Amino acid sequence: MRCIDRFAELKSLPADIGQALETRSRVVSLPAGTRVFEPGQRPGNMLLLLSGTVRVQQTSESGREVFLYRVGAGESCILTTACMLADEDYNAEGIAETDIEAVAIPRPVFDDLAGRSAEFRSFVFRSYSHRIAELFGLIEDIVFQRVDVRLAERLLGMVTDGTVFATHQALAVELGTAREVISRILGDFQRRGWVETARGEIRIINREGLEHLARSVT
């Protein structure tokens, strides 16, 4: 099975385009914690993730980190696509949250296939459109939704066997707020008997309470 066949939309590529993409690209593996790209760097490859996750974030002049989105298996990075299309440098960084494996499509191959294959262009722009919609959703959440509601939703999404393994700072980055805000809200959740906190982990005691808050719209 070809690596590109892991991406449903690429299965429909004409045989010659698919062959060119497969033979002129390479599979790369990076360990967790690797900085995949950083501000000021010009992208040399479009990465299609086969496994693992990459967290994309920005850091302000004051040092505050703001989470933008994640790239998971079967996905590509919208920022990389945008920078390659516009021939610009990155203005954010991508960090491998886990060990990752990806198909690296070199810039000349990307330009060549985008210019001569309507199917490849469709794949690129559909992925781009999907991520843009997600980013607008993130902006809407940050601007309009209460942080305690968003935190409850995030905890429920991260829990494994009753425990969330994350620091207050990591959760703050995820939700685009300050660590002190997360600590205050978690303290409130603990007083309500919903969670118990320890260093680097949060144990869910009353899932129903968090679920009720997460469904709140006020």
Q: For 2-52, how does the pLDDT look when each residue is reduced to its tens digit (9 = 90+)?
A: 677 778 778 778 888 888 888 899 999 999 999 999 999 999 999 999 999
Q: What amino acid occupies position 76?
A: S
Which residue, 10, 9, 15, 46, is CA-closest to 28?
46
pLDDT digits (tens, 9 = 90+) for 186-206: 998 998 999 999 888 999 999
Give the whole-angstrom CA distance, residue 170 versus residue 40. 24
Identify the pLDDT of residue 177. Answer: 81
pLDDT digits (tens, 9 = 90+) for 93-113: 999 999 999 999 999 999 999
Q: What is the pTM of this model?
A: 0.66
Residue 69 is given by DSSP the state E
According to DSSP, the residues that pair with 94 across neighbouring strands are 37, 56
Residue 79 is given by DSSP the state H
Mean per-residue pLDDT, 63-79: 84
Identify the pLDDT of residue 112. Answer: 92
**Chain mean pLDDT for the chain:** 86
Report the length, in residues, of the chain. 218
Banded pLDDT at 129 (limits 50, 70, 90): confident
